[in-house]
């Protein structure tokens, strides 16, 4: 297992009537792992607030493989699979593993950065874009060109 960025225990409020991890808890764990990886690079919540920039998701796909039960510990990986050269749009793949090492889920997300004041999509400042690209990348990582702006 590589790129481990978050580990936590499944608690009572995270299980459903079938006594396994509820579907939305998988997404919650994945979101926290993404924040942890950004924070480990110095791009924490305080920095995002200072820059008035925040991450948003366009798509989140969860593939469930094995059940996770109450009191189990999960470990979440996070790798960058695709990004524009300026870091403005990006995709991650994350894997959730149970404490016995069995993969329980795979999550794919596509997202971007939003200017919290203007409420519009934005690019990262160049120094933060460089830091963003320091994160672990998948072996199939795709670096995308920045599309030219259309003029009317």
> What's the structural domain count of the chain?
1
Report if residue 18 sits inside a domain: yes
Report if residue 66 sits inside a domain: yes
Residue-level pLDDT at 22: 95
Report if residue 43 sits inside a domain: yes
Q: Is residue 21's pLDDT more than 70?
A: yes
Residue-level pLDDT at 1: 41
Average pLDDT for residues 116-135, to the nearest whole number?
Answer: 93
Residue-level pLDDT at 5: 77
Report if residue 77 sits inside a domain: yes
Task: Give the residue with greater pLDDT, 151 vs 134.
Answer: 134
Residue-level pLDDT at 2: 54
Mean pLDDT of the chain: 93
What domain range includes position 93? 4-144
What is the 3-state secondary structure of the chain?
Answer: CCCEEEEEECCHHHECCCCEECHHHHHHHHHHHHHHHHHHCCCCHHHHHHHCEEEEEEEEEEEECCCCECCCEEEEECEEEEEECCCCEEEEEEEEECCCCCEEEEEEEEEEEEECCCCEEECCCHHHHHHHCCCCEEEEEEEECCCCCCCC
- Residue 78's domain is classified under what CATH number? 3.10.129.10
Tell me the pLDDT band of 152, cut-offs 50, 70 and 90. low
Report if residue 152 sits inside a domain: no
The pTM for the full model equals 0.90
Dihedral angle computed from the Cα positions of residues 119, 131, 81 and 25, in that order, rounded to the nearest 10 degrees: -60
Average pLDDT for residues 105-121, to the nearest whole number?
Answer: 97
Q: Which two tokens stand for residue 146?
A: 């920045």
* Rounded percentage of the chain residues whose pLDDT exceeds 90: 84
Residue-level pLDDT at 148: 84
Report if residue 93 sits inside a domain: yes
pLDDT in tens, 30-82: 999 999 999 988 889 999 999 999 999 999 999 999 999 999 999 999 999 99
Report if residue 84 sits inside a domain: yes
Report if residue 150 sits inside a domain: no
């Amino acid at each position: 297992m590589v790129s481990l960025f978050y580990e936590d225990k499944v608690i009572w409020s995270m299980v459903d009537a079938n006594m396994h991890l509820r579907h939305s808890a998988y997404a919650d764990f994945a979101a926290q792992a993404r924040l942890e990886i950004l924070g480990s690079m110095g791009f924490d919540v305080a920095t995002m607030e200072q820059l008035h920039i925040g991450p948003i998701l366009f798509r989140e796909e969860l593939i469930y493989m094995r059940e996770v039960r109450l009191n189990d510990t999960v470990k979440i990986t996070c790798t960058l699979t695709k990004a524009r050269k300026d870091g403005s749009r990006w995709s991650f793949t994350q894997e959730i593993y149970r404490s016995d090492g069995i993969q329980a889920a795979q999550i794919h997300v596509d997202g971007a950065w939003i200017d919290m004041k203007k409420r519009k999509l934005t690019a990262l400042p160049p120094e933060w874009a460089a830091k963003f690209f320091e994160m672990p990348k998948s072996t199939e990582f795709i670096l995308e060109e920045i599309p030219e702006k259309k003029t009317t």
